[in-house]
């Protein structure tokens, strides 16, 4: 729905929320408030209250009351539909450092070009998100096309929804196109959309990712699925310093500095290059204060890619201001029903707290209680049972705390990937998982983002970041790529239960937020007791294991 954000989509029901941000997105897409109100009147059982109608009308119309335009000489001017509004903004202390101190021209207020992004953010906070028509640096031409045939003999082409996403972003090269966010579930091909945008724009491009693993996955996809050559695609990282027609780097690299008072060592190189397009992978991370500096490259077409714009700090508006409005999104279940992402089931396993920790738990503070419950040693036996049940599957064990992950990896005799794992070792382990040499992989938070493991079909979440819905979406996304056998993906969450019927553990309380998020997206969610699961595995799996031995002997 153009003017509302999908909040919940359990089976047969879709629930939407109308917010100022959703209405700004509607305004940016050319929606008319009269059409929105007519639709609401048509589908509502009762008349829409006049105050709500007025708020909707004001919010939609507020987008575009201000515009950023070029003065034709490299400068930027802020104009408004009313002179009084422009005068108020000119007198605002909040905007003083973002505007040039010289008297404004006849058209409006002169903007500091380097503050273009910060001004858009400040104006959005004041309730007047501007339409940015100041134009872009054209950048150097880069003819590039998407391949139709791959090296392995397979065919390739944009899916319908990917093509729609590219067209919504680029808008045929119109002034209102070229900046915005595409929201697609993990496994739905956001990288492909990025490559489609690159081909549509046809300019030198900077691609920013979350880590080296994601960077190299992008490089692999670009070389396989586009006409770009190895000489045209460069990596700018701690290991390699290449600036080429398409350059891949990480947020951390661009914002690296030796101390808080030093300059960003590498940012100037990118700021001065005339890029025609910048692609922000996992764009929901952008509002983090230090990443925000990368959005100051405002005179460039900008595409944000993400599985979810949800942020627990509520700073989704910053993505709107710094990158652009939401241009395209598709509900997860719609793509699942079309077979574009795997069918998934969510299972919460309730685990009894280790008896030796009950006293420590009762005496601990709120944060301490959460950590004790999260690292509950009783989870180890359950994890082992689940891995035994899924011994023929590709299993990811995902967690938050390193001590816990190390204990799990040792118990399962499985490899472990954390932030301390050397990049070469990570790449080797991921490749082993992809080709089937490794069936169980234990991964810390580094596995939350942009890890391409298409065969992963079981995830076991043993601890997490409180009730982060964003993390839940990312972790579920690790197993959502469609499977060759069209099999179902299973997402387990191990949660320490409370000590009584009416008492929930701290981990349970946060798990309820995650559970609500998943059920609201329409995923089946069931809760089982750990004792029942372990007993079932101990009863059923020995017979299956005997059958597997017979199969091997016969073959």
Contact 10, 22 (CB under 8 A): no
Token code pair at residue 200:
């549509």
Any idea which residue has 């690159």 for tokens? 198
Any idea which residue has 């601990």 for tokens? 364
Contact 476, 518 (CB under 8 A): yes
Compute the distance between CA of residue 445 and CA of residue 463 in angstroms, rounded to an integer. Answer: 10
H helix runs in 284-397, sequence order: 316-322, 332-337, 358-363, 366-374, 379-389
Compute the distance between CA of residue 419 and CA of residue 413 in angstroms, rounded to an integer. Answer: 19
Q: Give me the pLDDT at residue 458, please.
A: 93
Q: How far is CA 254 from CA 249, 267, 300, 419, 455, in A?
A: 8, 5, 16, 19, 32
User: 234: helix, coil or strand?
Assistant: strand
**What sign for the dihedral angle of Cα 541, 544, 548, 549?**
positive
Contact 117, 321 (CB under 8 A): yes
Compute the distance between CA of residue 513 and CA of residue 156 in angstroms, rounded to an integer. Answer: 39
H helix runs in 133-211, sequence order: 160-170, 190-201
Judged on CB neighbours under 10 Å (0-12, 13-18, 19+), 238 is exposed
Domain residue extents for the chain: 5-60, 66-133, 160-330, 339-554
The phi, psi pair for 495, rounded to 5°, reads -130, 130
Neighbouring C-alpha atoms within 13 Å toward the C-beta of 336 = 21
Contact 422, 446 (CB under 8 A): no
How wide is the angle at C-alpha 496 spanned by C-alphas 495 and 498, nearest 5°? 125
The CB-based long-range contact list for 481-484 (8 Å cut-off, 24+ gap) reads 481/186, 481/187, 481/341, 481/342, 481/453, 481/454, 481/456, 482/187, 482/339, 482/340, 482/341, 482/342, 483/342, 483/455, 483/457
Contact 267, 155 (CB under 8 A): no
Say how many residues make up the chain.
555
Domain 160-330 has CATH 3.40.640.10: no
Q: Which homologous superfamily does the CATH classification assign to the domain defined by 339-554?
A: P-loop containing nucleotide triphosphate hydrolases (3.40.50.300)
Q: Give 10-residue mean pLDDT values along the chain (555 residues).
A: 67 73 84 88 87 90 89 86 88 88 73 86 89 85 90 81 94 81 87 96 93 90 95 92 93 82 76 87 77 73 85 75 86 78 87 92 90 94 94 92 95 93 90 91 82 82 78 80 76 85 74 74 81 89 72 61
Q: Give me the pLDDT at residue 221, please.
A: 93
How wide is the angle at C-alpha 172 spanned by C-alphas 169 and 174, nearest 5°? 90
Q: How far is CA 369 from CA 312, 391, 399, 527, in A?
A: 21, 33, 17, 22
CB under 8 Å to 387, separation ≥6 — which residues? 395, 397, 412, 414, 440, 460
Q: Can 160-330 and 339-554 be said to share one CATH topology?
A: yes
Compute the distance between CA of residue 105 and CA of residue 355 in angstroms, rounded to an integer. Answer: 74
Q: How far is CA 287 from CA 31, 262, 458, in A?
A: 27, 21, 31
């Amino acid at each position: 729905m153009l003017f509302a954000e999908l909040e919940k989509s359990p089976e047969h029901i879709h629930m939407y929320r109308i917010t100022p941000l959703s209405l700004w997105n509607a305004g940016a897409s050319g929606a008319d408030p009269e059409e929105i109100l007519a639709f609401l009147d048509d589908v509502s059982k009762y008349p829409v209250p006049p105050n709500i109608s007025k708020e909707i009308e004001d919010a939609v119309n507020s987008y575009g009351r201000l515009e950023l335009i070029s003065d034709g000489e490299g400068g930027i001017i802020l104009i408004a539909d009313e002179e009084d509004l422009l005068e108020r903004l000119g007198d605002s202390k909040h905007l003083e450092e973002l505007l040039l101190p010289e008297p404004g021209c006849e058209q409006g207020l002169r903007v500091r070009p380097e503050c273009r992004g910060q001004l858009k953010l400040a104006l959005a906070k004041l309730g007047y998100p501007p339409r940015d028509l100041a134009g872009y640096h054209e950048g150097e031409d880069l003819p590039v096309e998407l391949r139709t045939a791959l090296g392995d003999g397979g065919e390739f082409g944009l899916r319908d929804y990917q093509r729609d996403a590219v067209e919504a972003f680029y808008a045929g090269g119109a002034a209102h196109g070229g900046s915005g966010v595409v929201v697609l579930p993990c496994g739905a091909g956001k990288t492909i959309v990025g490559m489609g945008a690159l081909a549509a724009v046809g300019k030198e491009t900077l691609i920013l990712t979350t880590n080296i693993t994601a960077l190299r996955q992008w490089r692999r996809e670009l070389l396989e699925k586009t006409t770009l050559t190895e000489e045209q695609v460069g990596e700018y990282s701690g290991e390699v310093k290449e600036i080429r027609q398409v350059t891949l780097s990480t947020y951390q690299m661009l914002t690296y500095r030796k101390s808080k008072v030093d300059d960003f060592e590498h940012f100037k190189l990118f700021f001065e290059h005339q890029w025609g397009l910048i692609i922000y992978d996992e764009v929901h991370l952008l509002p983090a204060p230090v990443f925000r500096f990368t959005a100051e490259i405002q005179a460039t077409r900008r595409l944000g890619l993400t599985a979810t714009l949800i942020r627990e700090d509520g700073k989704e508006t910053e993505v709107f201001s710094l990158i652009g409005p939401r241009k395209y999104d598709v509900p997860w279940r719609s793509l699942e029903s079309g077979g574009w992402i795997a069918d998934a089931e969510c299972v919460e396993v309730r685990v009894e707290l280790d008896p030796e920790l009950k006293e420590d738990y009762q005496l601990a503070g709120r944060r301490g209680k959460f950590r004790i419950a999260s690292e509950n040693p009783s989870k180890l036996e359950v994890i082992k049972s689940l891995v035994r049940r899924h011994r023929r599957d590709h299993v990811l064990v995902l967690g938050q705390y390193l001590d816990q992950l190390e204990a799990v990896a040792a118990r399962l005799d499985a490899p472990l990937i954390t932030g301390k794992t050397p990049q070469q070792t990570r790449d080797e382990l991921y490749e082993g998982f992809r080709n089937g040499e490794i069936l169980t992989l234990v991964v810390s938070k580094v596995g939350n983002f942009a890890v391409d493991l298409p065969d992963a079909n079981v995830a076991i979440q043993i601890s997490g970041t409180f009730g982060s819905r964003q993390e839940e979406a990312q972790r579920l996304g690790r197993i959502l790529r469609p499977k060759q056998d069209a099999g179902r993906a299973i997402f387990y969450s191990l949660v320490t239960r409370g000590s009584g019927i009416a008492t929930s553990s701290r981990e349970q309380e946060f798990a309820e937020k995650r559970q609500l998020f998943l059920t609201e997206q329409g995923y089946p969610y069931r809760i089982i007791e750990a004792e029942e699961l372990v007993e079932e595995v101990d009863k059923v799996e020995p017979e299956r294991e005997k059958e597997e031995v017979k199969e091997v002997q016969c073959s």
